[in-house]
Amino acid sequence: MAIPDYQSLMLPLLHVASDGKEHLLNEMIETLADEFKLTLDEKKELLPSGRQAIFDNRVAWARTYLKKARLLESTGRGKFKITDRGLQTLEAKPVFINTKFLRQFPEFIDFQNSPKRSDSVEMDSTKPETPEETLEVSHQYLEKALSQELLDRIKRCSPKFFEQLVVDLLVGMGYGGSRQNAGQAVGQSGDGGIDGIINEDKLGLDVVYIQAKRWESPIGRPVVQAFAGSLEGHRARKGVLITSSYFTQDAKEYVNRIEKKIVLIDGNQLSQLMIEHGIG
């Protein structure tokens, strides 16, 4: 079955806590996962950020809202139990508990209206996502739009600018030592399909050969194969081929079959790396 939303978890969570005993959040997560018959994959499915399991996050928010309505109370770090109000609520046999239901309690209304709330997303009983999920999805949407905007601008710039952008990115990722040294390396070679050479680390223990292609059309196997041949001519073992477009499947499969270590970075990966490392 699908992972239940956090509001659907409120009533089952309160029922489990109705024994009056102290419960741990982690134990509650396992109990509810079993109750909803979640598969292992469903239990492991992560939020967009990859930092927490979706189901864990939803159980935690369900507990938080029940606590704010004083149906549960904290008894220690990660520990909680049902309150008298929580027991009275269950005696009324509600068929569903959601944020709309919880607004009958003044403490919950105060929490909802508080300017210091930890979740700045408006609570909506019609939304299945937790505030954290809503924020992360919004962040992903904005990041995707920014990524596309960066890529569009890159494609309008000159090949020389693209080479320098590649330098800034590689230095930002920890390659090449100083910006000055890396800048001298790139664009200097022009030899057999090599656009530049950059140190793999700040000590210069190994080098990486670079080819940067600001293209609109896809990069196929012949281009990648020619780059591999250039590496062989320099007795080089490692190379990075960066493009503003994308690589064909044939090109990707080729680099997996050869001995040389060639990393292919397409336009989408390039823009994502720029965002991740604050470049451009």
What pLDDT digit, counting tens, does each position of 122-156 carry? 455 456 677 777 777 777 767 777 888 888 888 88
Q: What is the pLDDT of residue 118?
A: 46
Average pLDDT in the 77-90 region? 94
Of 99-103, 120-124, 244-248, minimum mean pLDDT range? 120-124
Q: How confident is the model at residue 183, as a pLDDT?
A: 57
Checking if the pLDDT of 115 tops 90, the result is: no
**Residue 7: its pLDDT value, please?**
94
The pLDDT value given to residue 148: 82
CA-to-CA distance for 87 and 197, rounded, in angstroms? Answer: 70
Average pLDDT of span 25-29: 95
User: What pLDDT does 181 receive?
Assistant: 65
Give me the pLDDT at residue 117, please.
Answer: 46
| CATH topology assigned to domain 158-276 | Trna Endonuclease; Chain: A, domain 1 (3.40.1350)
Which pLDDT score is estimated for 209?
87
Decide: 191 and 236 in contact? Cβ < 8 Å.
Answer: no
Question: How many angstroms separate the CA atoms of 280 and 271, rounded?
Answer: 9
Stretch among 48-52, 210-214, 227-231, 269-273 having the lowest mean pLDDT? 48-52
pLDDT in tens, 163-184: 888 888 888 888 876 666 665 5
Residues 54 and 212: their CA atoms lie apart, in Å, by: 39
Q: Where are the domains of the chain?
A: 10-140, 158-276
User: Helices (H) and strands (E) in the chain — how many of each?
Assistant: 13, 7
Residue 61 tokens read as 């928010």
Provide the percentage of residues in the chain whose pLDDT is more than 90: 50
Check whether 120 has a pLDDT greater than 50: no
- Is pLDDT at 56 greater than 90 in this prediction? yes
Instruction: Quote the percentage of the chain above a pLDDT of 70.
Output: 87
Q: Is the pLDDT of residue 274 over 50?
A: yes
Q: Enter the tokens of residue 194.
A: 């090599």
